Structure 1
Amino acid sequence: MVNFGVSQMPYAKFGRILIICLCLASVPIITNSQRTPQEEVNALQSIKDSLTDPYTNLRNWNKGDPCTTNWTGVICHILTPTDGYLHITELLLLDKNLSGTLSPELGRFSYMKILDFMWNNISGIIPKEIGNITSLELLLLSGNQLIGSLPEELGKLSNLNRIQVDENQISGPIPLSFSNLSKARHIHMNNNSLSGPIPPELSRLSVLVHLLLDNNNLSGHLPPELTELTHLLILQLDNNNFSGSTIPSSYGNMTRLLKLSLSNCSLYGDIPNWSNLSNVAYIDLSLNQLNGSIPTGALSRNITVIDLSNNTLNGIVPGSFSELPLLQKLSLANNLLSGSVPSSIWQNRVLNVSERLILDFTNNGFSNISGSLLTPPNVTIGLQGNPLCSNRTLIQFCRPNEEHPSNSINITKVDGCPPRLCKPPYEYAPASPEMPCFCAAPLYVGYRLKSPGFYDFVPYFSDFEEELSAGLGLNINQLAINSAIWQKGPRLRMHLKIFPPYRNNSLQLVNESEVLRIRDLFSGWRIKDNHVFGPFEFLNFTLSDAYADFLPPSSSGISKGALAGIILGTIAGSVVLSAFVSLLILRRRIHKHYQLSSRRLLSRSSIKIDGVKDFTYSEMAQATNNFDSSSLVGQGGYGKVYRGVLADGKVVAVKRAQEGSLQGEKEFLTEIELLSRLHHRNLVSLTGYCDDQGEQMLAYEFVSNGTLRDHLSGKFKVPLNFAMRVRTALDAARGILYLHTEANPPIFHRDIKSSNILIDSKYSAKVADFGLSKLAPVSEFEGNVPSHISTVVKGTPGYLDPEYFLTHKLTDRSDVYSLGVVFLEVLTGMHPIYHGKNIVREVNIAYNSGIVFSVIDERMGSYPSECVQKFVNLALKCCKDDPDERPSMAQVVRELDNILMMMPDKDSEMSEYPGKEVMSSPASSSRMSYPGTSSSIVTTSYGFENVSGSDLISGAIPGVAPR
C-alpha cells in the first residue's frame, strides 16, 4: 500500500532507457508555456534540501521540469492572463513522513494557493517568508513538531481562508496582525503552547466561522468583543487558564453559535442567559468555578450536550431541560444543586433503538425524584452521592455506571455477500438491493470530525453517510465507514473506504480521473462543512497496490504518443543495442555476485560480538545432521528452523535464511545486534550465528515446550489453566518491559504475537523473534527525546497498532497494543483474525453488551470471575485505538501482578502446571515452533507471515472487522 502522489514507477530496462536518451534529440524544444519559472524550480530544490525524506517520497524532485513531469505533490496551473509559464499553485505534501525544517524559500511562490505539510515530523519554526505569498488560501501545517512563535508576517495573507497549525509545539502570543486576515473562515491553532490573551482585535474577522484555540496556555480575560463575530459557529477554548475571568454576558447573544466549549478554563461567576442562543447544540462549561444558578430561560431545541459538571452551581434543575428533543448528554455532577430531579427530562423523550440518553446528577444535594420512576432502557441515570440514595426505593439510580466502556463505535452492516471470495486487495463493495455483490479495490481515507456537535454518533450515522457521499459526488453505496473512534477533544476519527460504482465486469477500480477528483476534494477542503458535524480533518489518502499504474510518471514530460513514435522510429537500432546492453548487464551481475560472495566471506571477521559464537557452516551442518528433514522444527517467511546439537552437547534452534532473502539479510543483522546485548529470563537468548559460504544462520537457546499459540490452539493434551495464562502474560510483559526501559538503548519489538512467545519446560514464557525490532528514539542535541520512530509499517495483521498502521509512527504503545491482542487470545483462545472477524472488535462488543464471559475460553476450566474481569479490562485498555489511552508496559506488569495476588492460593500455585507430567505436544519435543516460523507438522498456527505495509491491505485494517 502506498500514499497517493508518491512516484513509484518501476525502473525501465537499461537498454530502453538508453534508446530513449539517444532519441530525445529529436523531441521539439519545450516552450515557456510548458515550463516552470526557474525561480520556483530553485525554491523547490531548497525546500527539498531542508527536509529529511527517509522514504524518498520526493525522489523525482530532480527529474525534468516540476510542472510538466508531475513532481510529487506539485500542482501547477497556467495563469490568466498568461505570462507564458506554468506556475506552482499547490504544494501537497500531506503525510509523507518528512522531517527537517521548512525552508524560507517557500516565500518564492507568488501564485501559491494551497500549502500543505500536515501530518509529518517537521520541526523548527514557521518561516516568516510565508507571509509573502499573498495569494495563499490554505495554510495547513497541522500535526508536526513546529516550535517558536507565529510570525507577524502571516497577517499579510489577505486571501487566507484557512490556517491550521494545530498539534504542534508553537508558543508565544497570537499575533495582533491576524486581525487583518479578513477572509479567514477557519482558525485552528489548538493543541499548542500559545500564551497571553486572546486579542480582542480578532473580532474584526467578519467571516470567521470556526475559532479553535483549545489546549494552549492562553490567559487573561475572555474578550467580550468576540460577540461581534456574527458568523461564528464554533468557539472552542477548553483547557486554557483565563483565571479571574467571567463568561461575558454578551456571549448569550451569539445567535448563530452552534458550539460553546469552555471546559477547564478557570472561569468563575454566573452562566449568562442562554435563551438567545437559538441555534446552539453543544455547551460545555465543565471543570470551572462557576457559581450561581443554572439559567432558567428556554434552550435551543437543537441541543445535544449540556455539561456543567465540576463547578459550584446551586439552586434547582430548570424545567426547560425537559423540553429538549435531541438531548444526548446532561451532566450536572459535582455541584451544589438541590431540590428534586424532574423525571420529565427522560419521561418526555421518545427514544428509538439507536438513541440513548446519559443523565449524570452525581454528588449534589438532591433529595428526591419528582414524577414517575420508570426509566426507558436507553436511559442511563447517575444519582450516587445525593441524599436521595438513602431511600431504598431509589437505590436503582445510585449504582456507579460507566458512560463509555469503549471509545470504538460499533458499526455493523449485513451485506449478504458470500465470505472471502474476493482476492486481496479487492473486497466486496457495500451491497444494496439495486447492486449485486462485486469485488472492488477501495480508496482508503483517514478522516476526523474535529469538533462534532453531538455526544453519540450512532443516531447521526446515516445522515453523515448521506452528507459526505453527497459532498463527494458519490452514490451512498460507494462509501463505507470502516471504523469510528472517539479521541480526545472530543474528536471522532474515521477510516473510510470509497468504492467504484458497479460495472458489469469482474474486478473494479476507481478510475484515474475520479481518484484525482476525490483526492482534490479532500486536500482542497472543498467538501462543504455541515453544522452538526463541524469542521473535518483530512489525515491521509492511501491507495492499494491495485492502483500502482495510477501513480504519476517520475521523469519524462513527453507525451505517450510522442514517445511511442520515437521508439517505433528507432526500433531496428533498439534490437541491436538491447542485445549489447543485455550482455553488459549479465557481465555486471556476474561480477556483482562474486563481489557479494567475497563481502560475505570477509564479513565473518567484521561481526565479532562478545559472548556470541561465530559458527562455521560445517559446524551448523554437523549439529543438524546436515539439515536433515528429521531435524526440521518449523518454517516461515525468513527460512527454516532446525533442532541442532552442538559439539558440546548443547541443544539449539538453528534458523537458516532461505537463499536470496533480502528481508532475511536485514533481519539477520538486526537480530545479531539486538540479541547479543539482551539478557533477560523472559527473552530468548542468542547462542551464536553463522555467516559463512553465502549462508546466514542464527542459533538460539532451544525452548522445548512450543509457542503460546500452540497451547491456545489445542495442540497440547492439557490446556493452560487461567493462572498459568496470567503467568505467561506476565512473563511476556516483563520481557517487553525490559526492552522498553532497561535495554540500552531501548527497543521496540514491533512483532509481538502469540507465536513469538515461547514456553520452556518450566512453563516460563520467553519473547522471541527480533528481526523487525527497532531501536527506540534517543535524546536529540537539545535533550528532547522524540516520542516515536517514523518507519515503514511492518508486523502481522491483527496485531498491528492501528495508529502506527495509519501514521507510520512507531511507539512503545504500539507494542502495548500488540500485547493486548495476545491477552485477548489468552482469554478467548481465538485467533486475532478468524472467520472474517477481528478479536478486538468482537471482545469489545461482548464487553459492551455485558456478555464478556460468553467469549472466555472454556478449555481453561474454572476461574475467579473478578480476576478474569480485571484481565479483560486490562486487555481492552491495551487495545485502545488512541495510544495515549493505553497503559505503559510498567503499568501492564503492575496490573498483572495485582491480578495474580488476588487469586486464591490453589489457583496460583506454581506447582499447578497444566499437564505437568505431559510436557510436550503430541508431536515430539524436537518439532516445536521457533521465532518467525510455524510448525512443520501441522498447519501454521498463526496464519500470517511478517508483512510490509503494501501487504496489509490483504487482511483487515487493524482493530476493525473485515467486511
Structure 2
Amino acid sequence: MMIGARLLLSVVALAISCPPLVWSSTAQSTDPSEVKALRAIKSNLVDPFSNLNSWNSGDPCTSNWTGIICQSTTNDGYLHVHELLLLNSNLSGTLAPEVGLLSRLEIMDFMWNNISGSIPKEIGNITSLKLLLLNGNRLSGFLPKEIGFLPNLNRIQIDENQISGPIPTSFANLKSMKHFHMNNNSLSGQIPLELSGLSSVFHLLLDNNKLSGHIPPELAKMPSLQILQLDNNNFSGSTVPTPFANMTSLLKLSLRNCSLRGAVPDLSMIPQLIYLDLSWNQLEGTIPSNKLSENITTIDLSNNNLNGPIPSNFSHLPKLQRLSLENNKLNGSVPSAIWQNMPLYGNKSVLLDFQNNSLTELSAAFSIPENVTVLLYGNPVCSGQINISNLCQPVNKSSAPGSSPDSNSSCGCNTDLGYEFNQLSPSTCSCSIPFGIGIRLKSPGISYFHPYKDDFKDFLTNRLNLYRNQLYVDSDIWEGRRLKMYLKLFPSNTSLFNESEILRIRDIYSSWEITLPGIFGPYELLNFTLGPYANVIPTTAASGLSKIAIVGIVLGACLGAAFISATVTVFIMKKLPRNQKGSKRRLLSSSIKIDGVKGFAFDEMALATSNFNSSTQVGEGGYGKVYKGVLADGSLVAIKRAQEGSLQGSKEFFTEIQLLSRLHHRNLVSLVGYCIEEGEQMLVYEFIPNGTLRDHLTGKSKEPMNFPVRLRVALAAAKGILYLHTEADPPIFHRDIKASNILLDSKLVAKVADFGLSRLAPVPDFEGATPDHVSTVVKGTPGYLDPEYFLTHKLTDKSDVYSLGVVFLELLTAMKPISHGKNIVREVNSAYQSGNIFSIIDSQMGAYPSECVGKFVSLALKCCQDETDMRPSMSEVVRELEVIWRMTPESDVMSTDSVVTESLDTNTTPSSSSVTGNPFSTLNFSGNSFSNLYPR
C-alpha cells in the first residue's frame, strides 16, 4: 500500500547521498573490470560542470569517486560498486554498454540528467540490479528485452523519456518487480498479457504513451496490483474488462481518455477502491447501482455517453470528495439523498458535479451542507426552479478547499542566514535552518489533500524517526490531477541538523526504505534544498539537485486560462450568426455557462471602456481592437472586441470552451470572461500592465532589461509553451509565438498571449496511429515562421520551437526578425560563424556573464535549425534554460521555480565574466546534447 513515497523521498535521498561510502578496509581496491567499466561510462558522458572530476584519478571505491558506493565481498578480496548515484548531475551524452560490467550493482540512478541514445542491452547482465532509475532524460529507442531477465529487479523508472516501440514480453519474467513507472514516453503496441503473471507488482503506470489494441483482462490476475494507470492511450473500441471487478488489492483505476466503449462495469466488489476515473471515453448505458467501496474518495465518469438516472448508491460514502458525472446524458431527478445521507469525514469538502446533463427535477426539501458543492448548470432543472439559482452558476473548481498554505511568522529569525521560524515548535520562538524537498504526487488517490494532511505528516515523520513538529508542509498545490507540495524538515531542540542526522536521513532515502500509504500514490522529486547542509555532503551531484529538479516536468497545473481565452475567441467568433445592422441585440451569455469565467453584458463592456473610446484602445490586430477596461469592481482588464468581418459561429464553441476553461498556467494570459451578443463578440482578459516584450526590446519601456531578466522571460515563456505541448489534454500548437505575443506583468514575469491561431495537436486515428503533424494552411507572422512548415504545410510542436528560438535571438540582440531585408536568424548565425557574436549583443543589456550568453545563443540557434529533427523539443529547451539560469550569479538567490514568479531588480547589474574570447569555438550543432557545447 505504501508505494510511491519511496520514489520521491528516495530520489531526495539519492540527491543527498552522492558522496561515496566505502564499507570495507581501504587496503582493498575496486575490481579491475569495474574500474574499466566506470572509465568507459565517463568517456561516453558529457560533464560540462566537471561533476565527475574525482573520476580522473585514484581508485573508485577508495578515492571517493562522486556517486560511487561500494561494498566488499568475502570471496574475491575486491571492493565492488554497489550503487551508482548520478542523479541530477547535469550529464548528457550516452550510456556506455560497459555499464553491464558492474556485476554487483544494485542501484543504477541517472535520474534527471540530459542523457540521450538508447538504453544499453548490457544492463541485462547485471543480475544483482534492484533499482533501474533512468527517468527524466532524453533516452530513445526500444526497451531492451534483456532487462526482462533480471531476477532481482524491483523497480524500473524510465518515465519522461522518449522510449518507443513495444513493451517486451520478456518483462513477464521480472518476478521481483513491484514498480513499473513507464509513463510519458512513446511506447506503442499492445500491453503484453503475459505481465499478468507478475504477482508482486504494486504500480503499473503506462499513461501518456501510444499504446493501442485492447486492455488485457488478464491484468486482473495480478494479486498485488494497487494502481493501474493507463490514461491517454488509444485502446480504440476496447471495453473496461469485466474481470477488473475481481481485483481485490486495487486502490486506483484510471483509464481516462483511452477511447473506451461499452458499459461501466460493476466495480462494487473491489473492497479497497479509493479512486475511479473513466472520464473522456465513449462509455454508454446506465451507471451500475451497486454500492462502491466505502474507502472511495473520487469517482469521475464525466464526458461519456451515459444515460438513465443517477443511482442512489453514491450516498453513504464517508470519504467521498468528488463525484463528477458532468457532460453525459443522465436524466430524471437529482438525488438529494446523496448529500443528505453523506457521512462526514474530518473536515472534508465534497464536490458533486452534475452539469450538462438532462436532469429535470429536484426535491423541494434539499438542504445542502455547507461543505458540499452541487453543480447543476446546463440541466433543464435550472430553468424550472428559481430557488436553486445558486446551484446553477459556474464555479471555479481549480482550487481544492482547505489547501491554502499555513501562515508563517519570521519571529525575528535571521533569514539572511537561512534561519526560519518553526511554527510547529513547542517553543515560543524557535529559529532554525530547515532543509526542504519539493515533491509531486503523480497519481494520488484523493481529490483534496487537506483532510489527509495530518495522516501524511504522521506517517512520514514516523518513518523518518522525527517528531511531528519537525515536519512542516509549506504548501500544497494541485496541478491538474497531480499534487505538488513543499516540505521542510526542522532540527529538534537545536538550530542545525548535525552531520550524522543528515547522513542518517540520507541513508533511509537512498536505500528506498520510505514508502507512503497507497492513497498518496507514486511520487517524483521536484527539488531538494540543502542550504548550509551542502557542506555536509560535499558532492556536486547533491548540490546540483537543489537547483535543477523542476526541469520540464512538467509544470503547472493551472495552465491556460490564457489558452482558454484565446482559443475561446476562435470558437465564439466562428459560430455565432451575425445580426444585420440596426437589429436589436439579443444577449446569449445567459444561456452559456463557462466554468471559471464570467459572461458579461454588452453594456458592461461599453461602460468599462467609456463606450469603446479611442483613448482606451491599447492594441489592434486582424481580429479587431483591444481596449483597456475598468470593471464595476475596479479591476483592470483587456477587452478584445472582434470586428464584424471576423465574427464566428457559436454552435459548437461551448464544448470546446468548457474543455479549455479547465486549463490554467501562470505563464499564459488568463481569461476573465466573455461577452456574446448577436453582432458582438468579446473576450475579457487579465490586464498585463507592462506591455509586450517587443515594446521593451525597442526602448519603449523606461528601464532596459538586463541579462537575468531576459533569461527569466525566456524561461517563463518556454514553460508556458511546454505546458501546451505536453500537459494540455489534448496538446496544443500555438502557431503564432512572437515577441509581441509575450506580455510582461508588473514583476516582469512573462505570459504568453493570443491563441487565435492555435491548433489542437493530432489525435490517434481509428487504427491507433498518431500523426506527427497537422496539415493546415500556413498562418503566422513573417520572420517567425518555421521554414519547413511554410514549405510543407505540416505544423508540428517543433514549429513553435522555431518561433520561440527567434524570440530568444530578439532577447539577445534586440533586432527585429525581419528588418531592411535582413533576417535575424541569418544575421546571428553569420556573426557566430565569423566569431563576432558578441558584437551584435544588445548594448542595452549591460554587463553579462559571457558563458551564459554563449550558451543562450547556441540554444537559440539550435531552435532555429531549418530541419525539424535538428531542433530540440520544448522540454529540452526548458531544461537547457534551467541549466543556464543556474550558471548566473542570481541563481544563488532565486530558485529555478521562482524565476517565473518573482522579480529581480531590473536596475541590478549582474556580476559578469569578461566578454573577451570566443566560447563558441567548440560549438557542434550536429550533436545531440547542448551541454557538450561548452566544456569547462
Q: TM-score, normalised by structure 1?
A: 0.59
Give the C-alpha shift of residue 728 in structure 1: 8.4
- 8 A Cα contact 2:18 2:85, kept in partner: no
Equivalent in the alignment of 1:22: none
- 8 A Cα contact 1:355 1:458, kept in partner: yes
Structure 1 residues 51, 84: CA separation in 2 closer, same or farther (over 3 Å shift)? same
Equivalent in the alignment of 1:40: 34
Alignment partner of 1:362 is 2:359:
no
- 1:597-639 C-alpha deviation (Å, 9 max, x unpaired): xxxxxxxxxxxxxxxxxxxxxxxxxxxxxxxxxxxxxxxxxxx
- 8 A Cα contact 1:368 1:388, kept in partner: yes
Give the C-alpha shift of residue 747 in structure 1: 4.1
What SS is found at the alignment partner of 1:463?
helix
Matches within 5 A, 1:450-849: 450-488=442-480, 490-503=481-494, 508-551=495-538, 680-682=698-700, 729=745, 742-743=806-807, 745=809, 747=811, 771=848, 774-775=856-857, 776-777=859-860, 778-779=862-863, 782-785=869-872, 786-788=876-878, 789=880, 790-793=883-886, 804=897, 817-818=900-901
The match for 2:429 among 424, 437, 456 is 437
| Unmatched 5+ stretches in structure 1 | 9-29, 555-674, 688-725, 750-765, 806-813, 823-831, 833-928, 934-944, 949-963
Structure 1 residues 727, 742: CA separation in 2 closer, same or farther (over 3 Å shift)? closer
What SS is found at the alignment partner of 1:177?
helix
- 8 A Cα contact 1:425 1:546, kept in partner: no
The percent identity for this pair of structures is 47
Matches within 5 A, 1:5-24: none
Alignment partner of 1:53 is 2:47:
yes
State the AA in 2 paired with 1:491. R
1: CA distance, partners of 2:508 / 2:19 = 21
The match for 2:221 among 221, 224, 228 is 228
The match for 2:76 among 63, 67, 83 is 83
Structure 1 residues 378, 318: CA separation in 2 closer, same or farther (over 3 Å shift)? same
Equivalent in the alignment of 1:399: 393
Alignment partner of 1:307 is 2:300:
yes
1: CA distance, partners of 2:376 / 2:812 = 45
2: CA distance, partners of 1:103 / 1:128 = 10
- 1:436-455 C-alpha deviation (Å, 9 max, x unpaired): 53332222323222211100
1: CA distance, partners of 2:370 / 2:81 = 58
Give the C-alpha shift of residue 419 in structure 1: 3.2
The match for 1:107 among 97, 100, 108 is 100
1: CA distance, partners of 2:370 / 2:431 = 40
Equivalent in the alignment of 1:155: 148
2: CA distance, partners of 1:930 / 1:78 = 55
- 1:153-208 C-alpha deviation (Å, 9 max, x unpaired): 11011100100101111110000000000110110100111000000000010111
| CA RMSD after TM alignment | 3.8
- 8 A Cα contact 1:367 1:388, kept in partner: yes
Give the C-alpha shift of residue 393 in structure 1: 2.2
- 8 A Cα contact 1:681 1:735, kept in partner: no
Equivalent in the alignment of 1:702: none
- 1:556-578 C-alpha deviation (Å, 9 max, x unpaired): xxxxxxxxxxxxxxxxxxxxxxx
Give the C-alpha shift of residue 372 in structure 1: 2.8
- 8 A Cα contact 1:70 1:553, kept in partner: no
The match for 1:197 among 168, 176, 190 is 190
State the AA in 2 paired with 1:502. N
- 1:428-468 C-alpha deviation (Å, 9 max, x unpaired): 344333x4533322223232222111000111111101111
What SS is found at the alignment partner of 2:352?
strand
Structure 1 residues 281, 803: CA separation in 2 closer, same or farther (over 3 Å shift)? farther
Structure 1 residues 145, 531: CA separation in 2 closer, same or farther (over 3 Å shift)? same
Alignment partner of 1:328 is 2:321:
yes
Matches within 5 A, 1:193-342: 193-342=186-335
State the AA in 2 paired with 1:224. P
State the AA in 1 paired with 2:463. G
- 1:272-293 C-alpha deviation (Å, 9 max, x unpaired): 1112111100000000000011
- 8 A Cα contact 1:252 1:273, kept in partner: yes
Structure 1 residues 430, 740: CA separation in 2 closer, same or farther (over 3 Å shift)? same
- 8 A Cα contact 1:32 1:85, kept in partner: no
Structure 1 residues 412, 795: CA separation in 2 closer, same or farther (over 3 Å shift)? farther
Structure 1 residues 746, 128: CA separation in 2 closer, same or farther (over 3 Å shift)? farther
2: CA distance, partners of 1:163 / 1:6 = 20
What SS is found at the alignment partner of 2:114?
coil
Alignment partner of 1:420 is 2:438:
no
The match for 1:410 among 400, 404, 407 is 404
- 1:270-317 C-alpha deviation (Å, 9 max, x unpaired): 111112111100000000000011011111000100000000011111
1: CA distance, partners of 2:47 / 2:430 = 39
- 1:224-274 C-alpha deviation (Å, 9 max, x unpaired): 100110111100000000001011111111121100000000000011111
Alignment partner of 1:180 is 2:173:
yes
- 8 A Cα contact 1:281 1:454, kept in partner: yes
Q: Which moved more, 1:382-391 or 1:736-745?
A: 736-745
What SS is found at the alignment partner of 2:870?
coil
Instruction: Work out the number of aligned pairs and report it.
Output: 617
What SS is found at the alignment partner of 1:745?
helix
- 1:816-867 C-alpha deviation (Å, 9 max, x unpaired): x24xx56xxxxxxxxx9xxxxxxxxxxxxxxxxxxxxxxxxxxxxxxxxxxx
State the AA in 2 paired with 1:681. G
- 8 A Cα contact 2:885 2:891, kept in partner: no
2: CA distance, partners of 1:553 / 1:144 = 19
Equivalent in the alignment of 2:56: 62
Structure 1 residues 85, 408: CA separation in 2 closer, same or farther (over 3 Å shift)? farther
Give the C-alpha shift of residue 520 in structure 1: 2.8
Equivalent in the alignment of 2:907: 931
Structure 1 residues 482, 794: CA separation in 2 closer, same or farther (over 3 Å shift)? farther
Equivalent in the alignment of 1:167: 160
Structure 1 residues 407, 523: CA separation in 2 closer, same or farther (over 3 Å shift)? farther
Equivalent in the alignment of 1:646: none
Structure 1 residues 271, 799: CA separation in 2 closer, same or farther (over 3 Å shift)? farther
2: CA distance, partners of 1:283 / 1:734 = 37
1: CA distance, partners of 2:519 / 2:88 = 27
2: CA distance, partners of 1:73 / 1:254 = 41
| Unmatched 5+ stretches in structure 2 | 1-11, 542-692, 706-741, 754-783, 785-802, 814-842, 914-936
2: CA distance, partners of 1:529 / 1:445 = 15
- 8 A Cα contact 2:19 2:537, kept in partner: no
2: CA distance, partners of 1:154 / 1:73 = 23
Equivalent in the alignment of 1:116: 109
Q: TM-score, normalised by structure 2?
A: 0.61
State the AA in 1 paired with 2:60. P
Give the C-alpha shift of residue 72 in structure 1: 1.2
Structure 1 residues 496, 332: CA separation in 2 closer, same or farther (over 3 Å shift)? same
1: CA distance, partners of 2:487 / 2:745 = 34
